[in-house]
Amino acid sequence: MSTKKEHVFVIGASGDIGSGVVRGLIKQKIDTTAYVRNEQKAKDLFKDELNTGHLTIVVGTYSTVDVYKKAIQGHTRLFILVADVGDKPALMSQIKGTFGKIAFEQGVRQIVDLSSASVGTYGKEGIIAYMHTTAEEKLWALADENPEERSLVVLRPGAFMTNHLMSDIHHIKRSNKLVSCGLPSMKMTWIDTKGKENLLNSSVYHLMIQIFLLVDISDCAVAVLSESIEKHDRNVYVMGAESLSNEQRAAIFSKVLGKPITYEQQSIEEFYKAYTGFGMSHSFVYTFIMYFSNDICKSTTPQLAIVLGRPLRTLEEWLTENVNKFQ
């Protein structure tokens, strides 16, 4: 590990995960740069962190490469999260490839990439898996050009528990049901997001695009970014706390809400019509149907507790914390 003082650059800093990464780094008094689109939003979001003197805000976008190239100078590590690619699946790898290349060329020693568990399960099958697989390939190639000086760590989360704050919350309130196109016995692997409030104010389309991206990985990312580079080098951390069937999820909701919640299987055709009706592309909806029918994270990862320094939370614990939202 380099003896020079660490300085971490965070792309996607004002989002749900990125803001958690920034706060976690500042708590450890690590100098951090937040790369954001909206300066005032960032100043409001990180008011306390700015007062510490450890946080710098840089305003830029994926297209302002010159701004980024200048700002990344002097940093030792980079956390990169790219989510807003709309219906342009090739854009994610282009952005991560460009920003990763610049970072390594400017002396960054470690990149921590937010990817998806779908990479290990599906490869390039499905738009979401394609986006993350191609992006990972570019970053791995860059890191392996100079393995002695360039380190890469990849975080691959499964489905996140705040998905229940999308369509599920409305079905539960209206008809005491969980509704999806998967079989009642079909299992999906979940990880805690700690109920981020601003997800409720996002569009369904934006949320669904991020459905296999946004999880509570902040603690894991902070651990990797603050500990020895050699300790985590070339590790891929798959993230899945609990594997539950749709019927098991309904039982947990019944227990916590104190009323019978049943699971209803929606036809694939109904699901497709509903979500294309929200404005989602054919490719994204088709991918979601595949993922809802076949888990993207085939097994749980209790070993992640070693990195986090705490046990992974269960769906029951998450729901108990957020029970008021479903009543």
Six-digit token pair at 157?
């989360």
Evaluate if residue 196 carries a pLDDT over 70.
Answer: no
- pLDDT of 297 reads 84
How many of the other CB atoms lie within 10 Å of CB of 47? 9
Evaluate if residue 122 carries a pLDDT over 70.
Answer: yes
- DSSP class of residue 5? P
Task: Sort strands 262-265 and 177-180 into parallel, antiparallel or unpaired.
Answer: parallel
Evaluate if residue 210 carries a pLDDT over 80.
Answer: no
Evaluate if residue 176 carries a pLDDT over 50.
Answer: yes
- pLDDT of 141 reads 98
How many of the other CB atoms lie within 10 Å of CB of 175? 12
What is the pLDDT averaged over residues 280-295?
A: 87
Residue that the structure tokens 């191609």 belong to:
134
The whole-angstrom separation of Cα 315 and Cα 297 is 16
Q: Which residues have a Cβ under 8 Å from the Cβ of 214 and sit 6 or more positions away? A: 15, 16, 17, 83, 157, 160, 162, 193, 199
List pLDDT tens digits, range 17-34: 899 999 999 999 999 999
What is the pLDDT averaged over residues 136-146?
A: 98
Q: Which CATH number fits domain 7-244+295-326: 2.40.50.70, 3.40.50.720, 3.90.440.10, 1.10.600.10?
A: 3.40.50.720
What is the pLDDT averaged over residues 63-68?
A: 97
Domain ranges of the chain: 7-244+295-326
Q: What is the mean pLDDT of the chain?
A: 89
pLDDT above 90 coverage of the chain, percent: 71
- pLDDT of 215 reads 44
- pLDDT of 193 reads 57
The whole-angstrom separation of Cα 323 and Cα 312 is 19
β-bridge mates for residue 59, sequence order: 36
The pLDDT confidence band at residue 36, using thresholds 50, 70 and 90, is: very high
List pLDDT tens digits, range 8-17: 999 999 887 8
The pLDDT confidence band at residue 161, using thresholds 50, 70 and 90, is: confident
Three-state DSSP string of 138-196 = HHHHHHHCCCCCCEEEEEEECEEHHHHHCHHHHHHHHHCEEEECCCCCCEEEEECCCCC
Evaluate if residue 205 carries a pLDDT over 70.
Answer: no
pTM: 0.88
